[in-house]
Chains A and B, each alone.
Chain A
Amino acid sequence: MDLLNSSIKELTAHLKSGKVSVKEATEAALTRIEKTEPKIKAFIRLHKDEAIKRAEELDKKKEKRGALFGIPIAIKDNMNLKDTETTAGSKILQGYISPYNATVVEKLKNEGAVIIGKTNMDEFAMGSSTENSAFFNTHNPVNTEYVPGGSSGGSAAAVKSNEVIAALGSDTGGSIREPAAFCGVVGLKPTYGRVSRYGLIAFASSLDQIGPFAKNVEDSAIMLNVITGFDNHDETSVQKNKQDFTHLLGKEIKRKKIGIIKEVSNFDIQEEVEDSLQASIDVLKDMGAEVVEISLPHLKYALPTYYIVAPAEASANLSRFDGVRYGLVEEGKNLKETYEKTRTTGFGTEVKRRILIGTFTLSAGYYDAYYLKASRIRRLIEQDFEKAFEKIDALILPTTARTAFKLGEISNPLEMYMNDIFTIPVSLAGLPAISIPYGNDRKGLPIGMQIVGKWFKEDELLQIASALENGGKNEQL
């Protein structure tokens, strides 16, 4: 029995029956990691001893098993895990020991998860290939010559290569959905405000949202059940009643209105990705859904808008890394020089680039023309979606226009940014969206289909995603 090939639900059943102990499941994960890591390199850090110790403790526990009891899980290295190093993929945070657990970590632990380690990422989550990690590249498990996507590339690769059952990532402009698409796993970005950001190292605070990577839609819903909830440590977290996101799974989607976006055809999309979109539309129609064309007139402005808004927020958020309180310090001859030397040595090129873009667009004389203008266009983009959602229940579009590229293939930053053209508009509007694997291209690389739901309607989003995932087999007769 390949324990790591199981879903959360399957492994839970094995653990419940007593056929497998938590320690055995944990050891199976660690053995698998030992075998695959030399090729994949998904983890920045493994917590072997802690994981085994935790497993032994859980095995003694008889009563009140949580929703993730004994499940091996990985976490992106931008979430604080108490008393361990958290680097956000950056040299500037090397040696930084988290003084507390992120809220999501606390929630995973409360439900019995076994945290196996922290995964590789683009430095401060800035990137689409994980090549901006200050430490090493992660390889796509489907074909190791290719990137796993990013910025949560380590988490996507760890799930795809069965090193863990599920993982957490964070998504600012596509950092969960794009690697999920490239690696062929399910990646969910919840509605902004659904999941607490407390303990997540901030990149762009009005966009950052934590979400799960999983092997199927149902596992994503189980993970979402665990990580959501109001948190008074995050003022943008939203007060909503606790709900079960699995409750609509398997329910028929007859008469659901699914939107396709007119403007998507203006973009240069790989042929197989287009075919895959068409195939998924056909399947939805076969299941009785009504497919409606809608228009998002400001879609093409989303990418430049994002690259003003996100770096502006990043330039402010990253000002805390000055060598004084934690992480790297490079002493200069005075305090100012210490700041400069620390930041210049500690940050990688992409991070510097984005700090400089942000500083520029926020600076006197340019603020109105860039930052304020972008904030107004962001409103128009949100309104486009709002108008569309008056007529539809969900939207479908490819997660990315192209499948994964080779390591080292893209060096121009603007070209790299283009990978997120279909995920960024959704992020700017704060909407929930999921990427599910839907076919492969001719090279055998996975294609991801993105479904976007209404604000805080993750349950309906998951219902439609699950129906599509099962290609109609899920339909209740």
Chain B
Amino acid sequence: MIDIKKYEKLSALSLNPEEEEKISKDLEDIIGYFGTLKEVDTENVEPYVYTRGAKLFLRKDVKGKSLGKEALTKNRELFKGSFYRVKKIMGE
């Protein structure tokens, strides 16, 4: 059995009991299905990390145009015009 509560916590989710039961069962099935991968010999196989053709590049060290703070923060009302407002996190 998967300790669903542990993964909920790591995912910042808290499922209701009904959803928890349903998803736990699905996860058992899906993770069980992954078992077939054990058959494959992957000794000395390089993991696929970088996709083909994509080369990491560096931009020229020149100042580009930015979207600007106003555009990027307009989805929330800011505190003192500069800060996102969150509940206090100290003292917990």
Q: Which residues of chain A have a CB within 8 Å of any CB of chain B?
A: 95-97, 99-100, 191-193, 206, 232, 235-239, 298, 300-301, 304-305, 307-308, 315, 319, 322, 324-327, 331-341, 343-344, 347, 349, 352-353, 355-357, 359-361, 363, 370, 372-380, 382, 413-414, 428, 430, 455-456
- B47 proximity list for chain A (CB < 8 A): 372, 375-376, 378-379
- A96 proximity list for chain B (CB < 8 A): 75
Report 16 cross-chain contacts, Cβ distance below 8 Å, ordered by A residue: A100-B71, A191-B53, A235-B54, A300-B36, A304-B37, A334-B88, A337-B87, A340-B13, A344-B14, A349-B22, A353-B23, A357-B30, A373-B40, A376-B45, A376-B47, A379-B46
Chain B positions 14-64 with a Cβ under 8 Å from a chain A Cβ: 14-15, 19, 22-23, 26-27, 29-31, 33-34, 36-38, 40, 42, 45-49, 51-57, 59
**A356→B23 contact, CB < 8 A:** yes
- A370 proximity list for chain B (CB < 8 A): 34
In Å, the complex CA distance between A355 and B10 comes to: 10
Q: CB < 8 Å: which of B34, B67, B75, B88 contacts A307?
A: B34
Question: Do A413 and B54 form a contact, CB below 8 Å, given A325-B76, A325-B84, A372-B47?
Answer: no
**B36→A352 contact, CB < 8 A:** no
- B48 proximity list for chain A (CB < 8 A): 375-376, 378-379, 382, 428
Q: How far is the CB of A371 from chain B (nearest CB, A)?
A: 9
- A99 proximity list for chain B (CB < 8 A): 67, 71-72, 74-75
Closest 3 CB pairs of A and B: A375-B47, A326-B75, A376-B42
Q: How far is the CB of A389 from chain B (nearest CB, A)?
A: 12
In Å, the complex CA distance between A373 and B41 comes to: 10
**A340→B7 contact, CB < 8 A:** no
Number of interface residues, chain B, beta carbon within 8 A? 51
**B57→A232 contact, CB < 8 A:** yes
- B87 proximity list for chain A (CB < 8 A): 331-335, 337-338
Q: CB < 8 Å: which of A95, A338, A413, A456 contacts B86?
A: A338
**A193→B30 contact, CB < 8 A:** no
In Å, the complex CA distance between A343 and B8 comes to: 11
Q: How far is the CB of A143 from chain B (nearest CB, A)?
A: 29
**A363→B53 contact, CB < 8 A:** no
Q: How far is the CB of B22 from chain A (nearest CB, A)?
A: 8
**A327→B75 contact, CB < 8 A:** yes
**A97→B86 contact, CB < 8 A:** no
Residue in chain A with minimal CB distance to B87:
A335
**B12→A339 contact, CB < 8 A:** yes
In Å, the complex CA distance between A356 and B86 comes to: 25
Q: CB < 8 Å: which of B40, B67, B71 contacts A301?
A: B40
Q: How far is the CB of A192 from chain B (nearest CB, A)?
A: 5
Question: Do A356 and B11 form a contact, CB below 8 Å, given A193-B53, A238-B54, A414-B30?
Answer: yes
Q: How far is the CB of A191 from chain B (nearest CB, A)?
A: 7
Q: How far is the CB of B72 from chain A (nearest CB, A)?
A: 5
Q: How far is the CB of B92 from chain A (nearest CB, A)?
A: 6
Q: Judge if B2 is at the interface, Cβ distance under 8 Å.
A: yes
- B51 proximity list for chain A (CB < 8 A): 192-193, 206, 236, 430
Task: Known pairs A96-B75, A339-B12, A343-B13; list 14 more (Cβ under 8 Å).
Answer: A97-B75, A100-B67, A100-B71, A235-B56, A304-B33, A308-B37, A324-B76, A325-B84, A349-B23, A356-B23, A359-B11, A379-B47, A380-B45, A428-B48
Question: Do A236 and B54 form a contact, CB below 8 Å, given A352-B23, A377-B40?
Answer: yes
Q: CB < 8 Å: which of B19, B29, B75 contacts A325?
A: B75
In Å, the complex CA distance between A356 and B5 comes to: 10
Q: How far is the CB of B18 from chain A (nearest CB, A)?
A: 10
Residue in chain A with minimal CB distance to B68:
A99
Q: Judge if B89 is at the interface, Cβ distance under 8 Å.
A: yes
Q: CB < 8 Å: which of A193, A305, A363, A379 contacts B7?
A: A363
**B37→A377 contact, CB < 8 A:** yes
**B29→A414 contact, CB < 8 A:** yes
Residue in chain A with minimal CB distance to B54:
A236
Question: Do A374 and B76 form a contact, CB below 8 Å, given A206-B51, A334-B87, A382-B52?
Answer: no
Q: CB < 8 Å: which of B7, B40, B54 contacts A359?
A: B7
**A326→B76 contact, CB < 8 A:** yes
**A360→B7 contact, CB < 8 A:** yes
Q: How far is the CB of B88 from chain A (nearest CB, A)?
A: 7
Residue in chain B with minimal CB distance to A333:
B87
- A360 proximity list for chain B (CB < 8 A): 2, 7, 27, 31
Residue in chain B with minimal CB distance to A334:
B87
In Å, the complex CA distance between A238 and B30 comes to: 34
In Å, the complex CA distance between A324 and B83 comes to: 11
**A307→B54 contact, CB < 8 A:** no
Question: Do A357 and B19 form a contact, CB below 8 Å, given A99-B74, A191-B53, A238-B53?
Answer: no
Q: CB < 8 Å: which of A193, A338, A375, A414 contacts B33?
A: A414
**A379→B45 contact, CB < 8 A:** yes
Q: How far is the CB of B49 from chain A (nearest CB, A)?
A: 7
